[in-house]
């Protein structure tokens, strides 16, 4: 799967932002029909997203669309209209507030029919947002609900509301957390989602960082997410893209270490050894798997 280090959320009804996002260095452009679109602009946003999907030259850019949640009168219409009109330009649909595997089942079956009817050659993926206590409780079932699933995404603001957590910032998206809690306040929730994602071969994506002017806070939040196993993070401003791409890319030091580990392991394997030593440290199968994953990501990014 192509890297998803950075995912830029762009309001679906603001056409001028779509072309700029397509030309940005972000890995994924997510055209949003949900939270960033006022109720009286939902219909217009849907039409604009279809037009944008069909008109700009997206090149090799990964493009997704976040529909409205399926417990609203807009969600099924978003899925139907966008996938039927522009499914061949769409990599995945993002379903917000997934609380039950049935949400994924519904989208999966509907996409089956749309693809058969329109003759779309490539399958449209699904990305599920885990944004509530109910969703996190059933996250393992959700992660295994469809072979269309590509990622699980943590929704920090709605999750905070669902568990009644304190609001410590204007945006509710992760900043100023250290003033309230002596550690990572969302460590368990994010780790639980990551575990379910990786157990089913999915990517895990962290929530956006709300204060786009706080570069240090974004860096800290992204590094923490990466340490917990996340593959990328949503962005709400183009100024966040560079930091996210850097944090979620392997460093040259990481690549050199992984290459050394794989070379030593292959040499030891040729001699019938199950474990080898590198720089005075034992290397086992688990370390080799980590090294292979890192090298695969580096190849996707043309770093090796």
What tens digit of pLDDT does each residue of 129-158 get?
999 999 999 999 999 999 999 999 999 989
In the predicted structure, residue 195 carries a pLDDT above the cut 70? yes
**Does residue 227 share a domain with residue 83?**
yes
Angle at 131 between CA 9 and CA 91, to 5 degrees: 45
Identify whether the C-beta of residue 223 lies closer than 8 Å to the C-beta of residue 232.
Answer: no
Residue 227 is predicted with a pLDDT of 94
Residue 4 is predicted with a pLDDT of 95
- For residues 221 and 219, what is the distance between their CA atoms, to the nearest angstrom? 6
- For residues 234 and 206, what is the distance between their CA atoms, to the nearest angstrom? 6
Identify whether the C-beta of residue 4 lies closer than 8 Å to the C-beta of residue 151.
Answer: yes
CATH number where 183 lies: 3.20.20.60
Percent of the chain with pLDDT over 90: 69
**Does residue 51 share a domain with residue 176?**
yes
Residue 297 is predicted with a pLDDT of 84
Residue 278 is predicted with a pLDDT of 81
Mean pLDDT of 209-225: 92
Q: Report residue 155: phi and psi, to 5°.
A: -110, 95
- For residues 303 and 210, what is the distance between their CA atoms, to the nearest angstrom? 30
pLDDT band per the 50, 70, 90 thresholds, residue 280? confident
**Does residue 167 share a domain with residue 99?**
yes
**Does residue 274 share a domain with residue 222?**
no
**Does residue 22 share a domain with residue 68?**
yes
User: What is the domain count for the chain?
Assistant: 2
**Does residue 259 share a domain with residue 240?**
no
**Does residue 236 share a domain with residue 276?**
no
- The three-state secondary structure class of 204 is strand
In the predicted structure, residue 207 carries a pLDDT above the cut 90? yes
Which of 137-141, 166-170, 193-197 has the least mean pLDDT? 166-170
**Does residue 129 share a domain with residue 257?**
no
pLDDT band per the 50, 70, 90 thresholds, residue 174? low
**Does residue 235 share a domain with residue 263?**
no
The residue among 225, 247, 269 that closes a domain is 247
The set of residues, in sequence order, having a beta carbon less than 8 Å from that of 38 and lying 6+ positions away, is 13
Q: Report residue 210: phi and psi, to 5°.
A: -70, -35
pLDDT band per the 50, 70, 90 thresholds, residue 175? low
Percent of the chain with pLDDT over 70: 93
Q: Report residue 234: phi and psi, to 5°.
A: -70, 150
Identify whether the C-beta of residue 184 lies closer than 8 Å to the C-beta of residue 161.
Answer: no
Q: Which domain holds residue 273?
A: 252-300
The answer to whether 158 is annotated as binding is yes
Query: Within 13 Å of residue 80, how many CA atoms lie on the same side as its CB?
Result: 8
Give the strand pairing for 281-283 and 276-278.
Answer: antiparallel
Mean pLDDT of the chain, nearest integer: 91
**Does residue 115 share a domain with residue 197?**
yes
pLDDT band per the 50, 70, 90 thresholds, residue 232? very high
The residue among 224, 247, 270 that closes a domain is 247
């Amino acid at each position: 799967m192509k890297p998803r280090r950075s995912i830029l959320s762009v309001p679906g009804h603001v056409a001028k932002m779509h072309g700029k996002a397509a030309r940005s260095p972000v890995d994924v452009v997510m055209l949003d029909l949900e939270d960033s679109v006022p109720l009286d602009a939902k219909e217009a946003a849907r039409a604009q997203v279809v037009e944008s999907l069909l008109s700009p030259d997206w090149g090799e850019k990964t493009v997704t669309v976040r529909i409205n949640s399926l417990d609203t009168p807009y969600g099924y219409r978003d899925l139907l209209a966008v996938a039927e009109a522009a499914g061949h330009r769409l990599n995945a649909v993002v379903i917000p507030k997934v609380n039950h595997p049935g949400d994924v089942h519904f989208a999966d079956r509907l996409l089956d029919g749309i693809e058969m009817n329109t003759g779309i050659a490539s399958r449209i993926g699904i990305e599920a947002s885990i944004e509530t206590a109910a969703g996190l409780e059933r996250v393992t079932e959700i992660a295994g609900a469809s072979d269309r699933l590509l990622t699980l995404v943590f929704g920090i603001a709605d999750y905070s509301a669902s568990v009644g957590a304190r609001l410590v910032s204007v945006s509710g998206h992760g900043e100023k957390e250290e003033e309230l809690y002596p550690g990572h306040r969302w460590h368990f929730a994010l780790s639980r989602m990551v575990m379910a994602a990786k157990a089913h071969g999915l990517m895990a994506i962290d929530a956006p960082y709300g204060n786009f002017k706080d570069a240090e806070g974004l860096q800290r939040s992204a590094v923490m997410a990466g340490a917990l196993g996340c593959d990328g993070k949503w962005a709400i401003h183009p100024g966040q893209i560079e930091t996210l791409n850097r944090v979620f890319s392997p460093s040259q030091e990481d690549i050199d270490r992984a290459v050394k580990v794989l070379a030593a392991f292959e040499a030891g394997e040729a001699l019938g050894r199950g474990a080898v030593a590198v720089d005075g440290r034992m290397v086992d199968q688990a370390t080799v798997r980590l090294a292979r994953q890192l090298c695969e990501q580096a190849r996707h990014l043309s770093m090796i």
